Chain A
Amino acid sequence: NAGVTQTPKFRVLKTGQSMTLLCAQDMNHEYMYWYRQDPGMGLRLIHYSVGEGTTAKGEVPDGYNVSRLKKQNFLLGLESAAPSQTSVYFCATRTSFYNEQFFGPGTRLTVL
C-alpha cells in the first residue's frame, strides 16, 4: 500500500501561472485535507473534504480551489500563483471513525 502520495514533489512557478497538486490515497479514507506549512506558523488548513463530491473551506482558502471527483483523489488548484503561496503543501487523510490523520510527504512550491 502506498498510503498517501503527492505529486509533484517540487515545483517552481512564475507569478500568474496556474498549477494543480494531486493527492492520492489507497486507504479508502473518507476525509481528505490540504494544509500549507510555513516557517514559524505550523500547519494551516486550506480546504478539506468529508467525502467524494464534497469540499469545504479551511482557515486560509483564498487563492486556492479544490475538487474531490473521486474518493481516492483530492486536487488543489492555484489559478494565478502569487509569491505569498510559496510554501510546503501537505495532504492528509483520515477515516470517519478515528481522528488520526495520515500525511503525504509534501510538495515544495516556489512562486517567483
Chain B
Amino acid sequence: GEDVEQSLFLSVREGDSSVINCTYTDSSSTYLYWYKQEPGAGLQLLTYIFSNMDMKQDQRLTVLLNKKDKHLSLRIADTQTGDSAIYFCAEFYGANNLFFGTGTRLTVIP
C-alpha cells in the first residue's frame, strides 16, 4: 500500500526558513500536495506540484521534488507565528484518492 512519511515536529525561530520533508512510495503519483491545518480547523490546500516538475515557487513557499529519491519538501521563507500549524503532504493515487502523510507540527518561536 501507499506510505507517506513525515517527521512529526519542527521548531523554528520567527524570521528563519522552515523546511518540512516528506517521502512517498508511489512513483506513479501524478500530483503531490501540501496542506495546512490550523488548530481546530480542517485542512487547506497550500500548494501542489505536478510530477514532471522539480520545483515550484509561490510567494514564500518553495516546493522541491526529487522523483528519483521520492522526496518532497516544503520551504517556508521568513517564517511567521501565523505559520504555526500542522503540515501534511499527500500524494494522489489511483483514480480518485489522496493518501496523506502523518503531518508535521511546525512551531514558530517568537
Contact = CB atoms under 8 A, between A and B. Distances in A.
A106 B40 CA distance: 8
Contacts of A56: 96
Nearest to A44: B100
A106 B41 contact: yes
Given A42-B4, A105-B42, A99 B31 contact: yes
A48 B102 contact: no
Nearest to B6: A42
Interface in A30-59: 31, 33, 35, 40-45, 48, 50, 56, 58-59
Nearest to A43: B100
Interface in A65-112: 90, 92, 99-106
Contacts, number: 52
A104 B101 contact: no
B42 A106 contact: yes
Contacts of A99: 31, 33, 48, 92, 98
Contacts of A48: 96-97
B10 interface: no
B45 interface: yes
A103 B42 contact: yes
A21 B53 CA distance: 39
B102 A40 contact: yes
Nearest to B43: A103
27 contacts: A31-B96, A35-B100, A40-B8, A42-B100, A42-B101, A42-B102, A42-B103, A43-B43, A43-B88, A44-B100, A45-B97, A45-B98, A48-B96, A48-B97, A58-B97, A90-B43, A99-B31, A99-B33, A100-B33, A100-B45, A100-B48, A101-B98, A105-B41, A105-B42, A106-B40, A106-B41, A106-B42
Interface of B: 1, 4, 8, 31, 33, 40-45, 48, 88, 92, 96-103
Given A43-B100, A45-B97, 13 more contacts: A31-B96, A42-B103, A43-B88, A45-B98, A48-B97, A90-B42, A99-B33, A99-B98, A100-B48, A103-B43, A104-B42, A106-B41, A106-B42
